[in-house]
Amino acid sequence: MDKLPHPLAAFFDPLTGAMTPCDRYRQVRLGDMRGYYLAERQDALATVEPDLLLYEVYELDVPAKDGEMIPCSTVIKPGHIGDEYFMTKGHYHRNGGAAEIYYCLRGEGFLLMRNGYEVVVEPMKPGSLHYSPAGWAHRSVNTGDADLVIFAIYPANAGHDYGTIKEKGFGRRIVRGTDGIPMIVDEPDV
């Protein structure tokens, strides 16, 4: 018989988004985002350092088993690449039956969701609660001038499919207008 998972506890700082201790921590830098930003197509990436930190993800080390859940914190830095705001890669869950709950603690931005053909864009601000149903891809975008801190919970057996979004995108992009106001624009044809 499988050994039962052991209870876990950590401290989660709602201001910084840091989880301590944290066995699964990752940093995503511009160099990891090849193929995601519009600026790449416009040759505007060459002037930006590939080491530039875009976001951090903290997760508790929960076994990827049926019925288990992963608590997760995402901290997206403020900024933009070309006119497109810092954002997560975005993904579908490999397990088409896995939903996710997002709760924004700090900052401002948008949550993009897509289920193949339908696209939903929700504003995020402190206190906004979002449900990304099973079958919907999700990406978070920071449009503010401070960190965007998001807490999420999702099934431990969800798995992540990044390839589909990398190839097809969300159908919408969040860009900085000339007046500095965020705009939701349709994905331009490539």
Out of Zn ion, ligand PAN, none, what residue 88 binds, judged by CB under 5 to 8 A for its kind, is: ligand PAN
State the number of binding residues for ligand PAN (CB under 6 A): 15
Percentages (nearest 5) of helix, strand, coil residues in the chain: 5, 45, 50
Q: Which of the listed partners (ligand PAN, Zn ion, none) does 89 bind, with a CB threshold of 5 to 8 Å by partner kind?
A: ligand PAN
Residue 89 makes contact with ligand PAN by CB under 6 A = yes
How many helices and strands, by DSSP H and E, does the chain display? 2, 17
Number of CB atoms found within 10 A of residue 51's CB: 9
What are the phi and psi torsion angles at 76 (to 5°)? -100, 130
Asked if 100 touches Zn ion (CB under 5 A), the answer is yes
| Partner whose binding site includes residue 72, from ligand PAN, Zn ion, none (CB under 5 to 8 Å by kind) | ligand PAN
Q: Which of 57, 60, 64 is nearest to 95 (CA)?
A: 64
Q: Is 75 in the site for ligand PAN (CB under 6 A)?
A: no
Mark 106-125 with x for binding to ligand PAN (rule: CB under 6 A) and - for no binding.
--------------------
CB 132 within 8 A of CB 139: no
Interacting residues with ligand PAN (CB under 6 A):
28, 57, 72, 74, 88-91, 100, 138, 140, 152, 154, 158, 160
